[in-house]
Amino acid sequence: MCGRFVQAAAPGAYVKPLSLQGELFGEVTDTPIERYNVAPSTGVWVLTSEDGGVRSQALRWGWEPHWAKGGKPPAINARAETLWTSKFWAAARHHRLIVPADGWYEWVAAEGKQPYYIHAADKTPLYLAAIGLFPTQTRAQQDDDGFAIVTGAADAGLLDIHDRRPLVLQPAGVAEWLDNATPAERIEEIVARAGLTAEAFSWYRVGKAVGNVKNQGHSLIAAAD
């Protein structure tokens, strides 16, 4: 995880359950995003950390340090286990953002690359913790802006789907993740222990049309026969 996800609700609907601190910069509309097959390298609506508040903006999914360009494609996931030790993340790990989502997809190789859709058991929005580089009040947009979703080892039943899972935060924990004043030690603790566990999610098989990034629409998250 995570290679594709769903961001279908309106930005306003994602923001409403949150207790954000300070000012909310940028536009937050009530128009549904309606993206049922969000793919890497595309622009995604996110909430980024900002001195004095939180910023709403679009940001490219994928990030790499400038010295790594020209090798592998930009990373779309950041492993929690190496987030603090790998030099790859040195420039990005202290710049945090949240990727609101309705759910994400995983493919099970043992079932002939059968896709599954994973979502909150209570059907509430998901808040995926991420890191990256992005524009702020004091930093202009740059070519290397982008983000990667933080992932950890899967637990319980999710192991049957994939051995990795995104770090999904409780709505009450989003403000702390986005607050630039949160101590580094607390952020490390959140990465290690604060993600929602398997019991918070439900999952089911969906059709293989999701495998084509050109396909969109609510039908992609319909249960397969």
User: What per-residue confidence (pLDDT) applies to 1?
Assistant: 60
Q: For each successive 10 residues of the chain (225 residues), what is the average pLDDT? A: 90 96 95 98 97 97 90 91 94 97 93 94 97 96 95 71 84 95 93 87 95 96 92
Distance CA 168, CA 80 (A): 12
User: What per-residue confidence (pLDDT) applies to 202?
Assistant: 94
Counting Cα atoms < 13 Å in the Cβ hemisphere of 139 gives 14
User: What per-residue confidence (pLDDT) applies to 158?
Assistant: 66
User: What per-residue confidence (pLDDT) applies to 193?
Assistant: 82
User: What per-residue confidence (pLDDT) applies to 156?
Assistant: 60
Q: Where are the alpha helices (DSSP H) in 16-169?
A: none
User: What per-residue confidence (pLDDT) applies to 164?
Assistant: 84
Q: Which of the residues are catalytic?
A: 2, 106
- Which domains are seen in the chain, by residue range? 4-221 (3.90.1680.10)
Specify whether the CB–CB gap between 116 and 104 falls below 8 A: no
Sort strands 23-25 and 53-60 into parallel, antiparallel or unpaired.
parallel
User: What per-residue confidence (pLDDT) applies to 109?
Assistant: 85
User: What per-residue confidence (pLDDT) applies to 147?
Assistant: 98
How far the first Cα of the chain sits from its last, in Å, is 24
Q: Which residue has the tokens 């709403």?
A: 56
Angle, helices 171-178/184-193, rounded to nearest 10 degrees? 150
